[in-house]
Structure 1
Amino acid sequence: MKRSTSVKIALATATAAGLTVSALPAYAASPASSFTYKVTPIAVKSHFGKTPAALPAGPADCLAQTAGEFACQTPHSIRAAYDIPDTINGKAAGTGQTIVIVDAFGSPTAASDLATFSTAFGLPQADLSIYYPGGKPTYNGHDTQPSWAQETSLDIQWAHAVAPGAKIALVVAANDHGASLDNAVKYAVDNKLGNVLSMSYGESENLIHGNNAQQSQVHKTFAKAAAQGMSVFASSADSGSDNGAGYENFSLPAADPLVTAVGGTNLYAGSGLAQPRETVWGDYANCPTNCADGPFGATGGAPSLLTAKQGSDVAYNASVYTGVLTYLGMLGGDNNGFYFFGGTSAGSPQWAGIAADLDQATGSKIGSVSNYARSWARSGMLYDVTEGSNSTPTFSGGYSASTGWDSPTGWGTPNVGAIIDSLTK
């Protein structure tokens, strides 16, 4: 199996039950941006194709069907691994909450991909609204648009998998410039679209360093979100502790102290592999299976060049080899179907879904998860990842997991049931 090469993009628009599209006038301007945010969804086409009946029952079944290479995860296996309840107080997990997902360009098949995914895995159909605060972009499938389209489908599908009762507000920036995406986040916060927000994108700090106006502007937005009790998440990036720069640096917006940065792990739970439950996602140092397709990446996590932050706050499954099954319908013809997806960008929307579940369970806003992570970890409600490293070929001085907090995986991965129990006693 080879990596996905998204060269042909379908231009058809998509509709689905529960979809609301809000084409809005351009939102307020911001300082000129000297950088673009990037997404790095890592997708490998599965051999399960488009047929739900062919999908594996779980990681062990997937591993058997792929000759020991992919221990892929389904919504059921992820919920089992992290003890995420199907229902809370008799209603679908996430009911009464709205998860905000921010991406650029969007996807022409976002809604229909979500509907296909939900049907395949027996989830309720999602209540999806799409907002275009900078005006609706024209999707042409060129340049970085295919990556953003794949990221969009990944984000909304897996937020829905973790919190199937929650509404989803997809806020689509007109392009991937820093100012455009920061304005999309500002729109979501100013209009209080939801109590949780996920950003599965970022830029290496060495490419932002010195752009103080841009960094200051988005920090003000995060401060307003915090004041409103919002839970805000961002992915820690997928190129190790150096982000390809050859020296340690983190990623913005994950580096902002008001954002919960989600690092990545290899999740072995349910696979039958003789491994610890989880290790650091770092294919160059500790690839989890036979890894026949070679290394795909490593979680970010390092001391920030811009803030006092030292790396990830929490973590979640991110390896492609233990990746989540996601449906893509924008590629055209036989390229459409289910893909193995990895990257820390898969963890951010799932942690957002968990926050929605916690808000439902408590009847209040949980706010910043990073404020709780230390105490949750010390009470055994986060799994402490103690093995693996995020070193890369461009920077061997990556960080290793250790007992307690570490840069690649923060305080660890969630036991959601235990967290709910502790918050609702």
Structure 2
Amino acid sequence: MYHLDAARLSVAALASSLFLAAGPAAPPVSTHPMTPAAGVNAEVDDVGQAIPAGQVTFPCQAGTTMPACYGPDQVRAAYDVQTLLDQGITGQGRTIVIIGAFQGVTVQSDLDLFDTTWGLPAAKLKITAPDGTVTFDPTNKVQRAWAIEGAIDVEWAHAIAPGAKIRLVLAKSEADADILSATRFAVEHNLGDVISQSFGEAESCQDAAFFAQQHAVFQEAQEKKITLVAASGDTGPAQHTCDGSLVAGVSFPASDPLVTAVGGTRLMADRTTGAYQGEVGWGDVSGASGGGFSAVYGLPDFQETLVQGQTGRGLPDVALGSSAFGSVIAAALGGFGRSIGTSAATAEWAGIVALADQAGHHRLGSLNPRLYAIASSDAYSHVLHDISSGNNTFHGFTGSSAGASWDAVTGLGTPDVAQLVSLLRDSEQGNDERDQTST
């Protein structure tokens, strides 16, 4: 099982997926180990081989005797991605950047196994380690966890946008300063159209200097119209601190208003066809959607209408399936297992952005203002599933309940991707950025 440990980052790595970059001229910040959303104890819980041989059906996709799991075909059907793929909207001409750590020595082979099993086109993957690497130690649980995280992220971004290029940018370690350095490198070199960050840490772990450095990187991304997505975490209204304990609060980097924070749901779909049957906010024995209100960032303008009675930025903004009772399958360390948590959900949203960028012939840039404008319009019910049941209470921390419109469990909800991309394509915002991505 890829046990997504609610995105515990370290001080400088901040909650919910962000590879923080440390600029050469920036003042030093404290450095701590960052934890991937898959968790430092992530291992592969073998779900077996496809049955019968040659078909992409695993035991958890057959019958009703175990928690459901889904492959690319089912997820694409459930969220109406396949409609776009059939129209040739595959992310072609776009690049998805994923931030990781260590070497990820099995990522390419795991991705190849994933693609072969599901009949996906070979991915156009390029791995970059701007600050160098250390020798991979397969007995080191932290390095193994990051290898699993990288595999999940690359595979599920590719599953949603099979025509997009993928750039995996690796920090030399899990230290937050190294993660920040990798993120800054990706932004400064304009490596892609969207950056996916599947990690995070409690805001209380970091100081003002670090948040200023992180926000400066994100502002540069905004200027270049690079979309930022990050996991909101997998422990509900609490997040991991730099020592691994839980504390009430939200996760950064997802808490930055320039980032689209991705929460989780329990997806219910036909195990074979993927036909959408419904969703509830994620909160069960396997984890809970990270959500709540920032103590660092004030309520942004785009949330003022829908987030009432709060002074801090609300998380998450959107969601996708994350529960163990409706997980996706990923290949990692040579085997197949369930991906539980907001890691895959975040990578999938990065894939959605790549589809929208291709369809609209320009970069979306900062996504949040558009999403909240949609949610305040008559189009809301056509492009987003408003999840109105479930809660994210977790491990004794009282969470929120999902409800109409925005909530601190699933945000604005989950997408009907074809409808969302169609609406975004018709938007007059954005400039044509097709030729600005570095290769």
Structure 1 position 69 matched with structure 2 position 73: no
- How far does residue 143 in structure 1 lie from its aligned partner after superposition? 4.1
- How far does residue 51 in structure 1 lie from its aligned partner after superposition? 7.3
Normalising by structure 2, we get a TM-score of 0.81
Structure 1 position 125 matched with structure 2 position 122: yes
| Among 133, 149, 152, the residue aligned to 1:151 | 149
Partner of 2:183: 185
Partner of 1:353: 351
Distance 1:27 1:116 in 2: 37
Distance 1:29 1:321 in 2: 47
**Helix, strand or coil at the partner of 1:400:** coil
Partner of 1:298: 288
Matches within 5 A, 1:364-379: 364-377=362-375, 378=377, 379=379
- Aligned residue-pair number: 380
Distance 2:329 2:363 in 1: 30
Structure 1 position 219 matched with structure 2 position 210: no
Whether contact under 8 Å (2:37, 2:200) holds in the other structure is no
Partner of 1:18: none
Structure 1 position 386 matched with structure 2 position 384: no
Write out per-residue CA displacement over residues 152-192 of structure 1, whole angstroms, 9 at most, x where no aligned residue.
00000000000000000000001111111111110000000
**Helix, strand or coil at the partner of 2:157:** helix
- How far does residue 225 in structure 1 lie from its aligned partner after superposition? 0.4
Whether contact under 8 Å (2:193, 2:225) holds in the other structure is yes
Write out per-residue CA displacement over residues 270-323 of structure 1, whole angstroms, 9 at most, x where no aligned residue.
2499x960111100xxxxxxxxxxx22111101112212121011111112211
Alpha carbons of 1:52 and 1:187: their partners in 2 closer, same or farther (altered >3 Å)? farther
Letter in 1 for 2:330: T
**Helix, strand or coil at the partner of 1:304:** strand
Alpha carbons of 1:255 and 1:29: their partners in 2 closer, same or farther (altered >3 Å)? same
Structure 1 position 257 matched with structure 2 position 252: no
Partner of 2:98: 101
Write out per-residue CA displacement over residues 240-288 of structure 1, whole angstroms, 9 at most, x where no aligned residue.
1112666530001001111000000000022499x960111100xxxxx
Distance 1:134 1:231 in 2: 23
Distance 2:164 2:246 in 1: 41
Structure 1 position 312 matched with structure 2 position 309: no
Whether contact under 8 Å (1:133, 1:184) holds in the other structure is yes
**Helix, strand or coil at the partner of 1:310:** strand
Structure 1 position 79 matched with structure 2 position 76: yes
Whether contact under 8 Å (1:262, 1:315) holds in the other structure is yes
Please say which of residues 218-227 and 41-50 is displaced more in the overlay.
41-50
Letter in 1 for 2:238: D
Write out per-residue CA displacement over residues 185-238 of structure 1, whole angstroms, 9 at most, x where no aligned residue.
100000000011100011122322xx1111111110000101111110000011
Distance 1:52 1:302 in 2: 44
Please say which of residues 376-385 and 190-199 is displaced more in the overlay.
376-385
Alpha carbons of 1:412 and 1:173: their partners in 2 closer, same or farther (altered >3 Å)? same
Whether contact under 8 Å (2:236, 2:399) holds in the other structure is yes
Distance 2:44 2:326 in 1: 12
Q: Could you list the runs of 5+ residues in structure 2 that have no partner in the other structure? A: 4-21, 299-312, 427-439
Alpha carbons of 1:164 and 1:276: their partners in 2 closer, same or farther (altered >3 Å)? closer
- How far does residue 345 in structure 1 lie from its aligned partner after superposition? 1.2
Distance 1:51 1:112 in 2: 21
**Helix, strand or coil at the partner of 1:37:** coil
- How far does residue 101 in structure 1 lie from its aligned partner after superposition? 0.2
Distance 1:89 1:387 in 2: 32
Distance 1:33 1:51 in 2: 49
Distance 2:238 2:182 in 1: 27
Whether contact under 8 Å (2:36, 2:145) holds in the other structure is yes
Alpha carbons of 1:214 and 1:52: their partners in 2 closer, same or farther (altered >3 Å)? farther
Distance 1:219 1:36 in 2: 20
- How far does residue 374 in structure 1 lie from its aligned partner after superposition? 1.9
- How far does residue 370 in structure 1 lie from its aligned partner after superposition? 1.4
Letter in 2 for 1:375: A
Q: Could you list the runs of 5+ residues in structure 1 that have no partner in the other structure? A: 6-25, 284-294, 330-335
Letter in 1 for 2:315: G
Whether contact under 8 Å (1:179, 1:214) holds in the other structure is no
Normalising by structure 1, we get a TM-score of 0.83
Partner of 2:12: none
Distance 1:62 1:54 in 2: 16
Write out per-residue CA displacement over residues 120-144 of structure 1, whole angstroms, 9 at most, x where no aligned residue.
1011001111111111232113141
Alpha carbons of 1:246 and 1:167: their partners in 2 closer, same or farther (altered >3 Å)? closer
Distance 2:83 2:43 in 1: 27
